Structure 1
C-alpha cells in the first residue's frame, strides 16, 4: 500500500530534479552563448543514468515505506543548503562542467568549500534513501557516486586550474 508521506517525498524529489534539469539546460545554453565551453561531456550520460537509477530505486522500493522523521529533518536541512548553493552560483549553476573564462564564484558556501554542491549530493544520496529506510540504496549509490565524483572532480579540477592561477 502506498504511503502518502512516501509518495509526497518521492514526488518532491522527482519534481525537484526535473526542474533542476530545466534550469541547468537554460543556464548551460546561456553560458555557451557567452563563449563558455564544456569539458568532460563523456561522463555526463553515465552520471545521469546513475542518478536516474537512484531515483527509480527510491520509487520502486520506497513508495510503501513510512518516513523516518529524523532523516526527513536532515533532508530538509540539506534542501536549505541546496538553495544556498544554487543561488550563490546563480546563472553559472549547471549539471555539466562548463568553463567560463571569468573569475570563479567565491561567495556563499564557495567561500569556504571547493565543491559544496558535490558534498550536498553525497549527503542527499545517503539521506533520501534513509528517509525511506532503504539502507542498501544509500550504500550502493554512495559507492557508485564516489566513483563518479572521482572522475568528475578530476575533470573539473584540471579544467579550472588555469582559472585559479589568475
Structure 2
C-alpha cells in the first residue's frame, strides 16, 4: 500500500465518522429506552455546542492532515495508538453503562451511580476517552493548528458538560 497524500486522511475519515455514526445510533436507542423507563432530560446548553464542535473538529483536523500531506511516520503511529486507546476507554465506559449511556444528560430516578467496571478506576472515563480521540487524531493527522484549536475548544466544552452532569447526578454543589 502506497502512502499517498489522501491515504491516511481517507482512512481517518472512514474510521472517525464510521464509529461516530455507530455511537450516534446507539445513543439514540439508549435515549429512547431511558425515556421509556422514566428518565428526565437535564437542561444542557453544552450539548448543542458538542453536537457541532465534535464532528466539525474531527473534520477540520482531517482536512489539515490532507492539506499538509499527512503520511505514516512516528507521530502518526503515536497518534493512531492514542486515538485507539481513547476509543477503548470510551467503549469500556459505554459497555459498563449499557443502556444508561447516551449523548444527552438523562437522569433515571432512583438509579444508583455506576461505580463498577472502568468507573471504579476513573470518574469520567467517557470523557477521558474522548480526550484521547481528540489528541490522537491531531497527532495522527499531523495537524498542529486545528488539532490544538479542537483540543482546547472541546476541552472547555467537556469541562462545562462535566459540571452539568455532576450537578444533575448530585455530585457537585449547586451554584
Q: What corresponds to 2:149 in structure 1?
A: 140
Asked if residue 59 in structure 1 is aligned to residue 45 in structure 2, the reply is no
Distance 1:82 1:24 in 2: 13
Find 2:52's aligned residue among 49, 53, 56. 49
Distance 1:75 1:108 in 2: 21
Runs ≥4 residues deviating over 6 A: none
Q: Quickly say closer, same or farther: Cα 1:5–1:60, change in 2 above 3 A.
A: closer
Find 1:6's aligned residue among 6, 9, 17. 9
Q: How does 1:3-152 map to 2 (within 5 A)?
A: 3-63=6-66, 64-67=69-72, 68-101=76-109, 102-152=111-161
| Number of equivalent positions | 162
Structure 2, unaligned runs of 5 or more: none
Secondary structure at 2:122 match in 1: coil
Alpha-carbon deviation of 1:16? 0.4
Structure 1, unaligned runs of 5 or more: none
**What is the RMSD of the two structures over their aligned residues, measured on CA atoms?**
1.7
Q: Is the 2:79–2:135 contact (alpha carbons within 8 Å) kept by the matching residues of 1?
A: no
Query: Normalised by the size of structure 1, how large is the TM-score?
Result: 0.89
Alpha-carbon deviation of 1:140? 0.8
Distance 1:95 1:118 in 2: 11
Distance 2:108 2:45 in 1: 19
Q: Is the 2:81–2:136 contact (alpha carbons within 8 Å) kept by the matching residues of 1?
A: no
Q: Is the 1:27–1:92 contact (alpha carbons within 8 Å) kept by the matching residues of 2?
A: yes
Distance 1:146 1:6 in 2: 23
